[in-house]
Amino acid sequence: MKRILALWDRMRAFVIRDFQLAISYRLAFFFRVLSILIFVTIAYYISRTFMGRAEAFSNWRDPLAAWITGLAVLSYFMTNFSSLANAIRSEQLQGTLESVLMTPISVPGLIVASSALDFFQATLFSLLYLVFGAAFFGVTYQGSYLLAFLILILTTMVFASLGILSASFAMVFKKPDPVALLLGTGTAVFSGVFFPPQLLPSTMQQVSKILPATYGLSAIRGVLIENNGLNEARGPIITLLIFLAVLLPLSLWIFSRAVRRAKREGSLIQY
């Protein structure tokens, strides 16, 4: 209990620090919100071209709803992934890692705490996609928001595991993880954010099947657009649970090895 309270205190410290830093760049927040509105607007006009032409794909009958949910979820996954992956690296580059690690915070604690505001912001910006779509362009969402949220959390945990793997790579090699780049672009192209994966050539469809985002996105769209329940979402949820069962312990094990190696080499605070 004491450790949880300590982690909570530290998370609060990082959230306040990051908020103070963020408001020192006030315009950045405003431009981010504006860019989401512009993106949704462009998606609306493009979607009118495709309206009624994707009937074969149940999630895509309303292309705007499909895009908006796709972008919201992709933005959420990728922000959270990169936030974890870059937590150590950004402190290294700023030169503050040593002083932060001199406090009683642990390295895993630092990664979780320093990503907290990013998680919050990612949630806010993802919601803005959905809210702008509903408020200005008549997109309607149905189904259980709670179920959609639970699938979102589950997929996020899978991405968080990948983020921890990426952080381990950056800690040892002092370079951004090349797999992270592949995961980012691969998820955008193959997991059905912009078009149904079924449109891809059959060999490329295999790529979409190894990406956790494909299952998360398909299930969330199913709930929000097609009013699917737990029964229909069971398949993707089980696949995501298998991803999580493999990736989470693996990533934590690799991460602990990476921290030990970096401390032994004395390279934890180098960049």
Minimum Å distance from CB 173 to other proteins? Answer: 4
Q: Which residue has the tokens 């381990």?
A: 168
The residues in 132-191 that bind other proteins, with binding defined as CB under 8 A, are 172-173, 175
**Cβ atoms of 66 and 229 closer than 8 Å:** no
10 binds other proteins (CB under 8 A): yes
Interface residue with other proteins among 105, 139, 220, 225 (CB under 8 A) is 105
257 binds other proteins (CB under 8 A): no
Cβ proximity to other proteins: between 65 and 110 the closer is: 110
Shortest CA distance to 138 belongs to which of 59, 46, 41, 218? 41
101 binds other proteins (CB under 8 A): yes
Interface residue with other proteins among 1, 4, 20, 202 (CB under 8 A) is 20
Maximum pairwise Cα distance, the chain: 60
268 binds other proteins (CB under 8 A): yes
CA distance 121 to 105: 23
Q: How many chain residues touch other proteins (CB under 8 A)?
A: 35
CA distance 32 to 119: 15
28 binds other proteins (CB under 8 A): no
Mapped onto helix, strand or coil, the DSSP state of residue 36 is helix
Shortest CA distance to 71 belongs to which of 98, 46, 97? 46
**Cβ atoms of 31 and 37 closer than 8 Å:** no
124 binds other proteins (CB under 8 A): no
Mapped onto helix, strand or coil, the DSSP state of residue 4 is helix
Residues lying near other proteins in the complex (CB under 8 A) are found at 5-6, 9-10, 12-13, 16-17, 20-21, 24, 94-96, 98-106, 172-173, 175, 260-261, 263-269
